Amino acid sequence: MTVSMLIDCDPGIDDALALALAAGSTLDLRGITTVGGNVGLDLTTANALALREFLDLGDVPVVPGCSGALVRGPMDAAHVHGAGGLGDAVLPQAVRGAGEGHAADFIISTLQDHPGEITLVATGPLTNIALAVRREPRIVDWVRDFVIMGGSYTRGNHNPAAEFNILTDPEAAAIAFNAGWTVTQIGLDVTLTARLTLPILNRMRDLGRLSSLILPSVQYYSPVTEESGPALHDAVAVAHVIDPTLLTLTPAEVQVETAGHYTTGMTVTDFSSPAPNTLVATHLDVDRFWQLMIDAYGRLAGRLG
């Protein structure tokens, strides 16, 4: 059965590789909405538009949303993803522009028109998601599933307590976790096990044009060696939509710290709560994840030439 997905993202190297996974899979991509995050909204949107054409994603709508957090000041991860957001990868500039309107309204209208059909995936800060929930609370009933890459029940990455997507807009994340749907949270605990090592990269053969995205971006993200490499955080979220058997999910109540001096942005996770609001990813079948990635990239490369 074809699964439909709407992805809200901040491309961003791993967002881009997640979109490449989607492009090489059987997913029905209903839309790409962009948010300020890894780099500014102008760049995450330009990257999404360039990726739509480079990855042969056809007429999938690309609609920009919020440039920054609901309450807090700007924050980015350009030091990780490069000034342009895709590391050293340089894609042909997009010919077609973004769709009209705001991402939050696009999310609402798309879900309203296709109730129960579409999995909403967020791989950046949750600002657009929070705005959509506030504008139309019924989207929590219209989604098929709501999946995020973000947070951690162990340690953060931007600081010991907080993961970047959540820390960039903790108030938005708090709204998203308490909107009334069950969040599928794919955090650093599992995504940090999804590392692109040299042996895995060597299994990605005959990438053709696709190599001009993958190689210069992943090498910029972090060195690819025999034993380690960049963690493709956001690709794990899309892989879950394609094959939900890859992850072990455990119910928990997740609340987002928004007032901690050292802990703001922490996803405080209670696996013993009688009122779980989240299915937390606690294990990833890493070998099957990489096989899915290698197969999808191989199919996509065959299409792109």
Query: Mind telling me the catalytic residues?
Result: 233
Using CB under 6 A, which of 149, 235, 242, 247 touches ligand RIB?
A: 149
Closest CB 136 distance from ligand RIB, rounded Å? 25
Using CB under 6 A, which of 5, 12, 183, 267 touches ligand RIB?
A: 12
Would you give the end-to-end CA distance of the chain in angstroms?
27
Find where tokens 């696996």 sit. 271
Q: Which stretch binds ligand RIB (CB under 6 A): 57-65, 92-100, 156-164, 264-272?
A: 156-164
Residue 31 or 124 having the CB closest to ligand RIB:
124
Closest CB to ligand RIB belongs to which residue?
A: 164
Indicate whether 10 belongs to the interface with ligand RIB (CB under 6 A).
yes
Indicate whether 37 belongs to the interface with ligand RIB (CB under 6 A).
yes
Indicate whether 213 belongs to the interface with ligand RIB (CB under 6 A).
no
Residue 22 or 142 having the CB closest to ligand RIB:
22
217 binding partner (options ligand RIB, Ca ion, none; Cβ < 5 to 8 Å by kind) = none
Residue 4's closest CA among 97, 115, 124? Answer: 115
Q: Which stretch binds ligand RIB (CB under 6 A): 8-16, 39-47, 169-177, 274-282?
A: 8-16
Residue 191 or 278 having the CB closest to ligand RIB:
191
C-beta neighbour count of 105 within 10 angstroms: 18
Q: Which stretch binds ligand RIB (CB under 6 A): 11-19, 82-90, 193-201, 261-269?
A: 11-19
Indicate whether 234 belongs to the interface with ligand RIB (CB under 6 A).
yes
Indicate whether 164 belongs to the interface with ligand RIB (CB under 6 A).
yes
Closest CB 236 distance from Ca ion, rounded Å? 11
Residues of this chain, 111-130, that bind ligand RIB according to CB under 6 A: 123-124
C-beta neighbour count of 96 within 10 angstroms: 10
Residue 304's closest CA among 217, 209, 216? Answer: 209
Indicate whether 165 belongs to the interface with ligand RIB (CB under 6 A).
yes
Using CB under 6 A, which of 163, 169, 253, 257 touches ligand RIB?
A: 163
Q: Which stretch binds ligand RIB (CB under 6 A): 12-20, 67-75, 217-225, 268-276?
A: 12-20
Residue 269's closest CA among 183, 147, 144, 157? Answer: 183
Closest CB 202 distance from Ca ion, rounded Å? 26
Indicate whether 14 belongs to the interface with ligand RIB (CB under 6 A).
yes
Interacting residues toward ligand RIB by CB under 6 A: 10, 12, 14-15, 37-38, 77, 123-124, 149, 157, 163-165, 233-234
